[in-house]
Amino acid sequence: MQNDLKHCRLSDLVYNDLSAKIRKEICKMGYDTVKFIDVDGAQAYVCKSETQITFVFRGTEPKEASDVVADLKAWKEKSRVAGRVHDGFYGELEKLWDKIYFIAMKNRNKECTITGHSLGAAMATICAARLQKVFNTEIVLYTFGSPRVGNKEFVDNLNVEHHRWVNNNDAVTKVPPIWLFYKHHGMLNYLNYYGKVRDGYSFYQRIKDMLRGRIRAIKKWQFFKGVYDHSITNYEKKLLKLKGGSKV
């Protein structure tokens, strides 16, 4: 849980441009250096220490036209690894790829983690697929509110430990639809309405829990529960509560 909360916090912080305050907070997590990469609207942090490296991808920003366009380009592009992936997510990672690959090659013996929220989670997933044979260590992937990224062949060939977090009625985790032959990857950690982790819920239990969340939201005049539950801040609040209120 400590590592999940840490990567959730990083996925929240990456929505900010790198300031002295944010750099200080990240270094308190055990990193020595933080680099901010920004190419044509696609952004990421690269956090490093002597023994570890973490790639943190920024998610969708409604004011960024390129992010909105990326989310809408739901046709599939041939993956560099195997299978096919969402063209918009593929394109956003491509903007950063040369820089990411160069950094990865120089740090391939370090422990590697990759994380992101929303569009950033999708980019992190494709990045993990590409880097799984670059690093001499096992990659661990942490995603929050991730959409489906690729088809079955892509998912079957992504052999990394993946902690995939879904918060109750998060609408983004339900797109693109399965009838377009998209699949999720990774071990599901489902946060129910009460903020508890439920991995073994049946389909009907999930439906019941999501309805519970929607009904309670309507009573509070919250008509966009799917958007509210997608917020990285709400993911972080629930994970923080699970850990007992202790900061990373």
Question: Domain with 92 in it: what CATH number?
Answer: 3.40.50.1820
Specify the pTM. Answer: 0.88
Q: How large a percentage of the chain has pLDDT more than 90?
A: 71
Mean of the per-residue pLDDT values for the chain? Answer: 87
Tally the domains of the chain.
1
pLDDT of residue 67: 42
Residue 24 has pLDDT above 90, yes or no: yes
Indicate the pLDDT class of residue 76, thresholds 50, 70 and 90: confident
Residue 247, in any domain of the structure = no
Higher pLDDT, 207 or 83: 83
Q: Is the pLDDT of residue 91 over 80?
A: yes
**Is residue 99 one of the residues assigned to a domain?**
yes
Q: What is the pLDDT of residue 205?
A: 64
Domain containing residue 173: 2-242
DSSP secondary structure string for all residues of the chain: -HHHHHHHHHHHHTTS---HHHHHHHHTTT-SEEEEEEETTEEEEEEE-SSEEEEEE----TT-HHHHHHHH--SEEE-SSSSEEEHHHHHHHHHHHHHHHHHHHHTTTSEEEEEEETHHHHHHHHHHHHHTTT-SS-EEEEEESPPP-B-HHHHHT--SEEEEEEETT-GGGG-S-GGGT-B--SEEEEE-TTS-B-SS--HHHHHHHHHHHHHHHHHTT---HHHHTT-HHHHHHHHHHHTTS---
Q: How many CB atoms lie within 10 A of CB 201?
A: 14
Higher local confidence (pLDDT), 74 or 52: 52
Task: Please indicate, yes or no, if residue 248 is contained in any of the structural domains.
Answer: no
Q: Check pLDDT > 90 for residue 212.
A: no
Q: Is residue 98 part of a domain?
A: yes
Is 224 a domain residue? yes
Per-residue pLDDT at 78 = 85
Is the pLDDT score of 90 beyond 90? Answer: yes
